[in-house]
Amino acid sequence: MSSVTVVRQNHVGTGRQAIRLDMTVSLDGFVVGPQDSTEEPMGIGGFRLFNWLDHRHDPGPNGQVFAESAATRAVIAGRRTYEHANRWHGDHHDGVPVFVLTHHVPEEPPPGSVRYATEVHACAAQARAAAGDSDVLVLGAGVAQALLRAGELDEMELHVVPVLLGQGRRLFDHLPAERTELELTRELNAADTDPARRVLHLRYRIQRPQSTQDAGAS
């Protein structure tokens, strides 16, 4: 899981790291299929989205983006994602701190490198501090929406799978009717020979008004 290609072209000159969402979505915008549960964490048919990860250690775009996610030094996860992933047994990758944003902190202490957070700005600030000069990985649709609403998300790396699921849990939902400008900073087309493993990796930087650019939370 070593990193070769950590990308920070947006931070050139500032040294600031990115809080970056990393999610696989269907073209119709779903991150899991319908009726997801702890027993069926990806919903009906939702594991189709993860076929491309079979090639996550290969050279090329899939290996590159996976290595980048593994090079992050802190994780922010939503509660549902965390629970559906069996709490990663306390270690998402390399023992980096995992900040789980939740409304209700569990009574038992968190496992491994997990910490619970209930306030989105504080959660983001702690993750930024923990990551040092590295990036923060964000996992989960609900927490992505919370960070977007709070203005704490810097980038999105979306792995767009050429499939329609029809129904499920949407990545972009429950957002206010406000325009957010983005910049497409990278696109990598993983044109696998196997149609079932093809995927388009799109990286967007979230633009914010100049006047608030210096209001860093780290």
Q: Which residues bind a copy of itself (CB under 8 A)?
A: 27-29, 33-34, 44-45, 48, 148, 158, 162-168, 170-172, 175-184, 187, 189, 195-196, 198, 200, 202, 204, 207
Question: What values do phi and psi take at 213, rounded to 5?
Answer: -60, -30
Name the residue nearer to a copy of itself (CB basis): 87 or 198: 198
Angle between helices 141-150 and 120-131 (to 10 degrees): 100
Q: Which residue has the tokens 């203005």?
A: 151
Provide the minimum distance between the beta carbon of 110 and a copy of itself in the complex, in angstroms, as a whole number: 32
104 DSSP β-pair partners: none
Residue among 44 and 217 whose Cβ is closer to a copy of itself: 44
Specify the amino acid at residue 154.
D
Q: How far is the CB of 180 from a copy of itself (least distance, A)?
A: 4
Nearest distance, CB of residue 179 and a copy of itself, angstroms: 5
Taking the least distance from each CB to a copy of itself, the nearer of 50 and 116 is: 50
Instruction: Characterize the bridge pairing of strands 30-32 and 136-139.
Output: unpaired
Distance between CA 213 and CA 205 in Å, rounded?
13
Identity of the residue, 114 or 138, whose beta carbon is nearer to a copy of itself in the bound complex: 138
- Looking at beta carbons only, is 34 or 110 nearer to a copy of itself? 34
CB of 186 to a copy of itself, least distance (A): 10
The nearest distance, CB 214 to a copy of itself, in angstroms, is 20
Give the nearer residue to a copy of itself in terms of CB position, either 110 or 151: 151
CA 115 to chain centre: 17
Q: Minimum distance from CB of 147 to a copy of itself (Å)? A: 13
Of the candidates 208, 152, 155, 158, which has an alpha carbon nearest to the alpha carbon of residue 179?
A: 208
Q: Do residues 90 and 112 lie in contact, with contact meaning Cβ atoms separated by under 8 Å?
A: yes
Q: Give, for 68, the enclosing helix (H) or strand (E).
A: helix 61-70
